[in-house]
Amino acid sequence: MARFLLTIVAIVSIFTTPGCNAAGATVIIPDPAVDAPLAKAKGEQTAVIAGGCFWGIQAVFQHVKGVVSATSGYSGGSAGAAHYEIVSTGRTGHAESVKVVYDPSRISFGQLLKVFFSVAHDPTELNRQGPDTGTQYRSVIFYSNDEQQRIANAYVEQLNQAKFFSHRIVTQVVTLDAFYPAEAYHQDYVVHHPDEPYIVYNDLPKVAALRKQFPNLYVSK
């Protein structure tokens, strides 16, 4: 469903939708017990994650220390189906995703996942996030190597075992086949449309939660 049709739904969802992160509330969770150490030298690595509308996920990670870039796009389906109008049908296999390029000497993959689970989205919502519903809004970590798979699976198990969330985490941990950048008008959407009701009620609170909960990781842009 196109976002402009969800403006009223977004406002109503503040009062009717359960979920810890949809309106900027946060869950305090521990550091991952299994993580990669910070690299000794500056470099670039890539993480691809999905957790609802890519606008908000991109906006959060653009404010995280050590992140070089965050790009909205699609993962999980074929190249031919990687177009917003088709993905929005929920029948392509794609999830709205964000490719996060980061410097592993400044932030670890596990710390990125901590932000992802605690302020970027609600990992207990199945095939939805806030007012958005459909498999294209599912929660996914697309791993690109064995280390990312190991860290992601261990963290999900750690959080589930400790019951930090009121429901079990439904985040999928699957291999990354490809990432397809979204159309230009989706990139930096929160930056360009900060006054849209959808952004005001669903995405800006996530950035505010990042600043409040992770002052040592938050950077202004």
Q: Which residues pair with 51 in a beta bridge?
A: 139
Count of residues making up the chain:
221
Which residue from 24, 12, 22, 103 is spatially nearest to 66, judged by alpha carbons? 103
DSSP-derived secondary structure letter, 3:
G
Rounded distance between C-alpha atoms, residue 162 and residue 218, angstroms: 26
Distance CA 84, CA 54 (A): 11
**What DSSP element (H or E) covers 8?**
helix 7-16
20 among known catalytic residues:
no
Torsion-angle region of 80 (φ positive above 0: left; ψ -120 to 50: alpha; else: beta): alpha
97 backbone dihedrals φ, ψ, rounded to 5°: -130, 165
* Active-site position among 53, 98, 141, 209: 53
Residue 24: which residues within 8 A CB-CB, separation 6 or more?
119, 204, 205, 206, 208, 209
* Residues noted as catalytic: 53
